A and B are shown apart, each in its own frame.
Chain A
Amino acid sequence: DIVMTQAPLSVSVTPGESASISCRSSKSLLHSNGITYVYWYLQKPGKSPQLLIYRMSNLASGVPDRFSGSGSETDFTLKISRVEAEDVGIYYCGQLLENPYTFGAGTKLELK
């Protein structure tokens, strides 16, 4: 199975500042078609996960452009610019390259 390792496990951010979350996969997520099958989700307290970023760097519909995704074949970053109160929750990276599809352990974002 592809292991997704996130860091840090928790981050505390002052509103208006930026935050970065890292995710590393145990295998390249770059398909031969040129697409990198890594995703970012946010699970707000008591809610279902919601898609933020798909295929490494594409912003999902309705997601503020304060969120951005980048990376290489095995190392990925979610950056949140100008953190707001509504960004609080647990962020997960995930891969949809091969069965079984797997997720990271999650990074909890809190406000200072």
Chain B
Amino acid sequence: QVNLLQSGAALVKPGASVKLSCKASGYTFTDYYIHWVKQSHGKSLEWIGYINPNSGYTNYNEKFKSKATLTVDKSTNTAYMELSRLTSEDSATYYCTRVTIAAMRNWGQGTLVTVSS
């Protein structure tokens, strides 16, 4: 079955960067786009962007263009999101999700990022 396994919680200092991972299994990795979604504590969902694992093409929410960088490693079926110049506003849970037939059908378990000195 489809599974998206995300990296563990991260505690990072303000101004630093962090790279989150999302390892896919149970399907052909290059056939489906991976999207990333942010959820601040107690808040709703914000779409960050997506990547086409086959071509590496990316499409970002303008709000996150200078914050997030999406990449993939096809050899390990893993998608990555790097967040840069972190502030307290970036403290949140981040989800990767697989899109099929234009729907966010499968979700990772989420990675909690805490930005604190």
Contacts and interface: CB of A to CB of B under 8 A. Distances in A.
Interface of A: 35, 37, 39, 41, 48-51, 54-55, 60, 92, 94, 96, 99-106
A100 B86 CA distance: 22
B47 A103 contact: yes
Nearest to A90: B44
Interface of B: 35, 37, 44-47, 59, 61-63, 95, 101-105, 107-110
Contacts of A48: 95, 107-110
Contacts, number: 52
A49 B46 CA distance: 12
A101 to B, nearest CB: 4
Contact of B102 (A55, A102, A103, A106): A55
A96 B46 CA distance: 12
Contacts of B95: 48-49
A92 B45 contact: yes
B59 A51 contact: no
Contacts of A55: 102-103
- The 5 A-B residue pairs with the shortest CB-CB distance in the complex, in nearest-first order: A54-B103, A100-B61, A48-B107, A101-B47, A103-B45
B105 A60 contact: yes
Given A99-B61, A100-B61, A100-B62, A106 B44 contact: yes
A48 B44 CA distance: 12
